[in-house]
């Protein structure tokens, strides 16, 4: 079975986000004064061939081993079966 | 009014994603052979003080001017009002 998986990785609340701060500064310079906070994360779209029983454990394992850094990042994911190819 | 905005920026379908290819290769090396495609995008979380009439135009303008590169990237966004602070 084919699955479409979205993994969202974001920095933990307590971790500074210099890239977000830079974007916030640039938005202020462009005149968007109302911007009070910017945080930047990643979203990964994966197509994975797997059986239904294993897909969730597989994605969790991918996140823990490679896609996210659990020391400074949180992640969540959505799994959707691709019905017709 | 305070708004919580999520901006999702992804490479257009036709644009090569070397970062995604690298992640796919690493997943294969880790034994996740079923991974057939990986695309990597950004998700930006912004807190913006604005009035209700202007918020959508503002966010669109931010995306066009700074947050996305319309030549190679697509974007979409979600706007939610923050009810209690």
ipTM of the prediction: 0.89
Partner residue opposite B38 with nearest CB, options A34, A41, A46: A46
Angstrom distances, CA of residue B44 to CA of A39, B25, B58: 6, 26, 15
- Minimal C-alpha gap between A85 and chain B (Å): 13
Non-local CB neighbours of B74 within 8 Å, separated by 6+ positions: B9, B10, B11, B12, B68
Nearest of B24, B77, B56 to residue A67 by alpha carbon: B24
Name the pLDDT band for B85 (thresholds 50, 70, 90).
low
Which residues, other chains included, contact B65 with Cβ-Cβ below 8 Å and sequence gap of 6+? A30
Domain that holds residue B11: 2-81
Best A21, A28, A35, A51 residue to mutate vs chain B (most B CBs within 10 Å): A35
- Three-class secondary structure of residue A5 per DSSP: strand
The answer to whether residue A36 sits within a structural domain is no
Question: Helices in A1-85 by DSSP H: which ranges?
Answer: 18-29, 55-62
What residue of B is the nearest CA neighbor of A55? B34
pLDDT tens digit sequence for B19-74: 999 999 999 999 999 999 999 999 999 999 999 999 999 999 999 999 999 999 99
A25 occurs within a structural domain: no
A-chain residues near B39 (CB < 8 A): 44-45
- Span A44-72, mean pLDDT? 97
Q: What is the DSSP string of B12-79?
A: -TTS--HHHHHHHHHHHHTT-TTEEEEEEEEEEEEEEE--TTTHHHHHHHHIIIII--TTTEEEEEEE
The answer to whether position A23 is within a domain reads no
Q: How far apart (Å, rounded) are the C-alpha atoms in residues A20 and A73?
A: 15
Binned at pLDDT 50, 70 and 90, residue A70 comes out as: very high
Closest residue in B to A3 (Cα–Cα)? B35
The tally of domains found in chain A comes to: 1
Nearest neighbour of A44 by CB, restricted to B40, B44, B49: B40
Residue B48 sits in a domain whose CATH number is 3.30.1280.10
For residue A24, is it within any domain? no
């Amino acid at each position: 079975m084919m699955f479409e998986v979205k993994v969202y990785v974001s920095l933990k609340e307590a971790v500074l986000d210099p890239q977000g701060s830079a974007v916030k500064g640039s938005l202020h310079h462009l005149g968007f004064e109302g911007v009070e906070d910017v945080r930047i994360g990643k979203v990964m779209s994966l197509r994975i061939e797997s059986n239904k029983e294993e897909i969730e454990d597989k994605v969790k394992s991918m996140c823990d081993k490679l896609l996210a850094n659990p020391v400074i990042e949180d992640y969540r994911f959505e799994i959707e079966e691709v019905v017709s190819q």
